[in-house]
Amino acid sequence: MKQTILITGASSGFGLLVATKLHQSGYNVIGTSRNPQKTKVPFTMLALDIADDNSINAFGKELFKHIAQLDVLINNAGFYLSGLAEETSIEEGKRQLETNFWGTIKLTNELLPYLRKQKFGKIITIGSIMGLLNFPSGAYYGASKHALEGYFKALRFELHEFNIKVAMVEPMAFQTNVINNSVAAQGRISDYNAYRGKLEKFAKDLVEKAAEPTPVINTIIKLVEDKNPTFNHPVGKGASLFLAIQHFAYKTFENSIIKNINKF
């Protein structure tokens, strides 16, 4: 029987690419978007805003009109809030957490009763390398992704006896629409002017050097196929080395980030 895969944020970037590839490979794919009619896709697209409780509740009811079982939930929807920590208002920060963290958790909770009843399933969540380490200008984004790491680490244990597997994917910078769709914090504190200027150039350079997304798509598809996936899956050039340096030689990691920012 064809496996059914639900992928949130399937209108763009990683979500669109994974959903399209899985659909072409014969999986039964359901994608989601806040504006499902806007993007023409070859798979079923349903309306979902993970930052809206009513939308999540309605989606839970609608989904099982389209499918009989759910094999894999891919929590992919999210956005990037950039901004120096002190220049970001709590309201802006809350909106970041409301989507990336709470939205992901609320949707997972909405679907867990079905998965537990089935006694099988898989939850793959797209975190970020910034959920395992962090950079200046990413305080709230990194916090939202760190929070997902902590949450799903616990859930992985708790769902073990229901035969529901839990895994994370942690991409470095890849070319999607994430920067076009990002939100910049509005606050300005003049003491930060010079540093903010350097950071903007550092970020621009990072975006220009971002890799094409195939490695992330391949990692997600491998996880869909893997019967017993491990938890963390960092993806990107040098990701594992980068993480090891951060873990075992934090000062070296920190100095290299500072040096790279000070180039600008």
Give the footprint of ligand NAP on this chain (CB under 6 A): 8-15, 33-35, 48-51, 76-79, 99, 103, 126, 128, 171, 173-174, 176-178, 181, 210
Write down the least CB distance from residue 194 to ligand NAP, Å.
Answer: 27
DSSP per-residue letters across 24-37: HTT-EEEEEESSTT
On whether the CB atoms of residues 220 and 123 are closer than 8 A, the answer is no
The one-letter amino acid at 58: A
Closest among 9, 26, 80 to 221, alpha carbons compared: 26
Question: SS3 of 171, please?
Answer: strand
Place of tokens 């873990």: 247
Q: Give the nearer residue to ligand NAP in terms of CB position, either 127 or 229.
A: 127
Select the residue whose beta carbon is closest to ligand NAP and give its number: 13
Write down the least CB distance from residue 42 to ligand NAP, Å.
Answer: 16
Long-range contacts of residues 243-251, Cβ cutoff 8 Å, at least 24 apart: 243/129, 243/132, 243/133, 246/132, 246/133
Closest among 8, 89, 21, 16 to 50, alpha carbons compared: 8
Active-site option among 27, 140, 141, 192:
141
Is position 250 annotated as part of the catalytic site?
A: no
Q: Give the nearer residue to ligand NAP in terms of CB position, either 2 or 237.
A: 237
Write down the least CB distance from residue 144 to ligand NAP, Å.
Answer: 8
Q: Give the nearer residue to ligand NAP in terms of CB position, either 67 or 183.
A: 183
Closest among 28, 52, 56 to 42, alpha carbons compared: 28
Q: Give the nearer residue to ligand NAP in terms of CB position, either 84 or 235.
A: 235
Mutual angle of helices 250-262 and 239-248, in 10-degree steps: 120
Write down the least CB distance from residue 71 to ligand NAP, Å.
Answer: 20
Write down the least CB distance from residue 193 to ligand NAP, Å.
Answer: 27
Q: Give the nearer residue to ligand NAP in terms of CB position, either 10 or 166.
A: 10
Place of tokens 């070296």: 252
The catalytic residues are 141
